[in-house]
Chains A and B, each alone.
Chain A
Amino acid sequence: MNMSPFPHSTKILAILIASSITMISCATPPPACGGPTTNDLHAAVNQVKNELEFNGCEAYFDRFYDDLLRIAEGDPGAANKQLFSEFLVWSADEGILSQRQAKDYYNRYFNVKFMTMQGDYNNCSHTCPARGRIMRDMERELSDKERGLMKVSLDNDGYYRADELYQEIELVLEATCAACSAGQR
């Protein structure tokens, strides 16, 4: 004889609902804006693109870029340069970055020229008064170039040229700024 106040079908339904709730609460969905979870650069770029395009993670662009560089360091090669360029062009096309930001991100890591040396005014009036800061910024940029050119793209020659350029700029600015300040005396 059935002593239970509930009918058998109700019991089964209750068990099903409870187990579903348990299963849903145990499953861990991927954290939003968590960045790439793979060490394959192509796949990582696609993951980042998805995060940026569909999950509203634009604010994390810096971290994603750094993650991609780290993944690329694990599998360096000349082709990586193109992959990063295409990713940045895509980011600019999608409106995640401005054209200028995309250029800065690319050139800072993958070009010999120093973005720190951008300026519209003459050296005596603009560069010389800030020479110390400019040289410090260039030093930081040189270490980014070491990462982008040498560790990610295996472009050792490019990095050596950037290093040489850094030294030449240091020398020429020292002389030019000394000449500029002598002219003011």
Chain B
Amino acid sequence: MTLSSGSARARKITGAFAPKITGAFAPKITGAFSNHSYVYAVCLTLVATLIPVLQANANTPTIRLFPTTVVEDLKQTSSVAQEMENGLQEVIGRLDQQQQLYNESKCDGAEGDPGCQRLAKQIGATYLDMLGIMEERLPDMEHTVNNTRLSLEKRLRSELGNKMTSWTLQETLLGGNPPNDASAPSPTMRGRSGMRLSERFQQYYKLVASSSSQSDQSLAVLASDIYLDMEETSELIARTREEIARATLIEQLNQSFGTITPEMMEVVGGVKSILFGDDESNTRVAGPPPASIEQAYRSPLEQ
């Protein structure tokens, strides 16, 4: 990690070009024309051509927010989430079917009916299965999410927190060019519910894995987005783990009575929306058109 300084970058480029120019061009030109002034002219032209390139590079410090470890952590998180989803999908499907049967049998308000009691017990047993799977898989999930979060946290603190001022941060976000290129991936913003957890991490992974093609401004936004998402996910997992033990105990007690509690349905609904997405919240309001900072007039006062 480093924020390569402009001058360091410029030195690197000069070093790479200098021997080529001297070695390949100088003897030929000198031999063919024996004219030193012509050589100087060519050298001057080359220098004049290179200077703007070097300056342009010097003005764009690179930030390293996604080293290989972070990319690998994201990939790992995605596959762990997928495993958990696969395990839960079957049991949640079963719960849905049992709930549907319970409703169709008009068991609501007929809790004393032996058939309904049996159905309620079956639903409770499936619910316990779901809690069991979550209890088994969540520690892995928590571990990988925390790893990613901590790696990103370190990067954000070092690259954006300690190495940048508010002004340089703003300039990084604004970038050198207006973000008009429709083909360039736009920075991901928060609030990606409506998408499977594993898909979300898979998408993060893809975005990050192709980070070399992205500009610094998108990377800063992307890193912040992922970090905040991980932080929330991490808190949610910790809270869920605490709740599982309590919910399991309550359901074991309920099993003896064969009742379905509203809390149980709420938990199932919550798990479904976290893991498999919530379609209702997927609707997004259109934002303003991509903006351009291209201006006909540029004031000498502009900073």
Is B164 positioned at the interface, with any CB of A under 8 Å from its CB? Answer: yes
Q: Specify the chain B residue showing the minimal Cβ separation from A184.
A: B157
**A111-B221 in contact (CB<8A):** no
Binds B, one of A4-12, A37-45, A167-175: A167-175
Residues of A within 8 A of B206 (CB): none
Taking CB atoms, residues of chain B closer than 8 Å to A111 are: 299, 302-303
Count chain B residues whose beta carbon lies closer than 8 angstroms to a beta carbon of A.
47
- Expressed in whole angstroms, the Cα–Cα distance for A176 and B173 within the complex equals 13
Least CB separation from B224: chain A residue: A175
When the two chains form their complex, are residues B157 and A182 in contact, meaning their CB atoms are under 8 A apart? yes
B156, B166, B179: which contacts A127 (Cβ < 8 A)? B166
Chain B residues positioned under 8 Å from A106 (CB to CB):
299, 301-302
| Partner pick for A123 among B153, B165, B173, CB 8 A cutoff | B165
How far, in angstroms, from A99 to B220 measured CA to CA in the complex?
A: 32
Residue of B with least CB distance to A121: B165
A22 within 8 A of B: no
Interface centre among A79, A126, A155 (most CB of B within 10 A): A155
The reply on B109 being an interface residue by CB < 8 A is no
Chain A stretch 72-118: residues in CB contact (< 8 A) with chain B: 78-79, 81-82, 85, 88-89, 102-103, 106-107, 110-115, 117-118
B162 touching A122 by the CB < 8 A rule? yes
Q: Does A165 contact B (CB under 8 A)?
A: yes
Instruction: Check if B169 is an interface residue, CB within 8 A of chain A.
Output: yes
**Residues of chain A contacted by B156 (CB below 8 angstroms):** 175-176, 179
B window 206-233: CB within 8 A of A: 217, 220-221, 223-225, 227-228, 231
A180 x B299 contact (CB < 8 A):
no
Q: Complex Cα distance A117/B173, Å?
A: 12
Total residues of chain A contacting the partner, CB 8 A = 53
Interface residues of B in 141-194 (CB under 8 A from A): 152-154, 156-157, 160-167, 169-171, 173-174, 178-179, 187, 189-190
Say yes or no: B303 contacts A178, CB within 8 Å.
no
Minimum C-beta distance from B195 to chain A (A): 19
CA distance A115 to B187 in the complex (A): 24
Q: Which residues of B contact A115 (CB under 8 A)?
A: 303
Distance between A99 CB and nearest chain B CB, rounded to angstroms: 8
Q: Mark A36-75, 1 if CB is under 8 A from B, else 0.
A: 0000000000000000000000000000000000000000
B157–A155 touching, CB < 8 Å: no
Q: Which residues of B contact A107 (CB under 8 A)?
A: 301-303
> Given A123-B164, A172-B224, A182-B153, are A165 and B299 also a contact pair (CB < 8 Å)?
no
Interface residue? B296 (CB, 8 A):
yes
Among listed B84-92, B120-128, B287-295, interface-contacting one? B287-295
Query: Which residues of chain B come closer than 8 Å to A173, judged between CB atoms?
Result: 169
Contact B157 A176 (CB under 8 A): yes
Q: How far apart are A124's CB and chain B's nearest CB, in angstroms?
A: 4
Which of B178, B289, B301 is in CB contact (< 8 Å) with A88? B301
Indicate with 1 or 0, residue by residue over A120-145, a CB within 8 angstroms of chain B CB atoms.
11111011100000100000000000
A112 to B295 CA separation, bound complex (whole angstroms)? 11
Q: Which residue of B lies closest to A180 (CB)?
A: B161
Instruction: Return B184 CB to nearest CB of chain A, in Å.
Output: 14
User: Does any Cβ of A come within 8 Å of B297's Cβ?
Assistant: yes
- Binary per-residue interface labels of chain A (11-51) against chain B in the complex, 1 for a CB within 8 Å, 0 otherwise: 00000000000000000000000000000000000000000
Query: Is A172 a contact partner of B220 (Cβ separation < 8 A)?
Result: yes
Q: Which of A78, A158, A171 contacts B225 (CB 8 A)?
A: A171
Which residue, A78, A81, A119, A179, has most C-beta atoms of chain B within 10 A? A179
Complex CA–CA separation, A79 to B297 (angstroms): 8
B231 touches A122 (CB 8 A): no
If A176-B157, A179-B161 touch, whether A119 touches B167 (CB-CB below 8 Å) is: yes
| Inter-subunit contact B299/A85 (CB<8 Å) | yes
B300 at the interface (CB under 8 A from A): yes
Q: Which of A79, A128, A158 has the most CB atoms of chain B within a 10 A radius of its CB?
A: A158
Interface of chain B residues 90 through 144 with chain A (CB within 8 A): none
- Chain B residues close to A by CB (< 8 Å): 152-154, 156-157, 160-167, 169-171, 173-174, 178-179, 187, 189-190, 217, 220-221, 223-225, 227-228, 231, 288-297, 299-303
A-B pairs, top 3 by smallest CB distance, nearest first, are A175-B224, A161-B291, A160-B291
Which A residues are closer than 8 A to B by beta carbons?
A: 78-79, 81-82, 85, 88-89, 102-103, 106-107, 110-115, 117-124, 126-128, 134, 155, 157-161, 163-165, 167-169, 171-180, 182-183
